[in-house]
Amino acid sequence: MPKLNERLSHWDALNGCYCGRWQKSPSAGHLYERSGDGKFSRIFASAEGISSCEVCGYDLTRDPLENLKALPAKAWSGALVKGSCFYSETVWQLPDGITDCEFVGCNLDNVDLPAHAKGITLTDCTRKRIINQNDRTDWVCDWKTGAPIEPIDLKRRLREGENTDPAKLPAEKLTDEELKALEQKRTDERELAEAQEKVATLTAKLEAVK
Ligand SMILES: [Zn+2]
C-alpha cells in the first residue's frame, strides 16, 4: 500500500480511491473499476462485497468528499502533495493542526485553510472561491464576502461578447426554460451575424459587376 504522502499526490480526490483503481462517477452510486491498460469496466456499487479498495483500503461506501474530510491533520502533516485535485462545489476545510505540508500544482479551489495551520505552503496552486451564480454559471468570488468578481471562463466570454460584469447578473436564479431561451438567443444572434456578413459580401460582389 502506498504511503499516505504518496497516496495524496496525483489523486483525483473527489472521484477516485488513492491508488486510482476505483473511480466514482458523478451520478451517485456508480463505481468503476479500472481493470488496467486504461480501460474501465463498469460495476455498480450494489455489487456484492465491495466496501473498500483491496489495494489502498479506501472506503468505497462513503462519498469521496466524506473520505477527504475524514483525513486527520497528521495525514496531511509532512506531506508533499503534487498534482492533485481537491476542488468541490461546496467549500470544505483542511483540518486544524496540520504542520509542514506543501501542495504543488494542486487544485484547491473552494478549499478553506484552517485558522491553526503551521506551514501549509502552496506552490503553483489555484485556490479560488467559486460559486454558481443566478445565471447558472460559475464565477470566481471574494473568499470573505462571497461577492462575484469574474466568470471562470472570462476569456471565452470576452471573445464571444457575453456578460462579464457581476453587476449584470440576474437578480434571481434563471429557470431551465430561461436558460434554454438564452442559449437559443445566442445561437440565433450568431446565425444572424453570419447571415448579415454573407449579405454584405454578396452585395459588394454584385456591386463590383456593373
Ligand atoms: Zn485504491
2 C-alpha vs ligand 1 centroid, how far in Å?
A: 10
pTM over 0.85: no
35 C-alpha vs ligand 1 centroid, how far in Å?
A: 12
Q: Residue 178: is it exposed, middle or buried by C-beta count within 10 angstroms (0-12/13-18/19+)?
A: middle
Q: Provide the residue ranges of all domains of the chain, joining segments of one domain with +.
A: 4-127, 175-210
Distance CA 113, CA 125 (A): 13
- What digits encode the pLDDT tens for the residues 99-118? 889 999 999 999 999 887 77
What integer pLDDT is reported at residue 17 of this predicted model?
86
**End-to-end distance of the chain based on CA atoms, in angstroms?**
82
105 C-alpha vs ligand 1 centroid, how far in Å?
A: 22
Chain position carrying cell 466524506: 66
112 C-alpha vs ligand 1 centroid, how far in Å?
A: 26
**One-letter-per-residue 3-state SS of the chain:** CCCHHHHCCCCECCCECCCCCEEECCCCCEEEEEEECCEEEEEECCCCCCCECCCCCCECCCCHHHHHHHCCHHHHCCCEEECCECCCCCCEECCCCCEEEEEECCECCCEECCCCCEEEEEECCECCEEEECCCCCEEEECCCCCCEEEECCHHHHHHHCCCCCHHHCCCCCCCHHHHHHHHHHHHHHHHHHHHHHHHHHHHHHHHHCC
Which residues on adjacent β-strands are paired with residue 31? 24, 43
37 C-alpha vs ligand 1 centroid, how far in Å?
A: 16
> Can you tell me the mean pLDDT for 123-143?
96
**141 pLDDT above the threshold of 80:** yes
What integer pLDDT is reported at residue 12 of this predicted model?
84
60 C-alpha vs ligand 1 centroid, how far in Å?
A: 9
85 C-alpha vs ligand 1 centroid, how far in Å?
A: 16
- What digits encode the pLDDT tens for the residues 8-28? 888 888 888 888 888 877 665
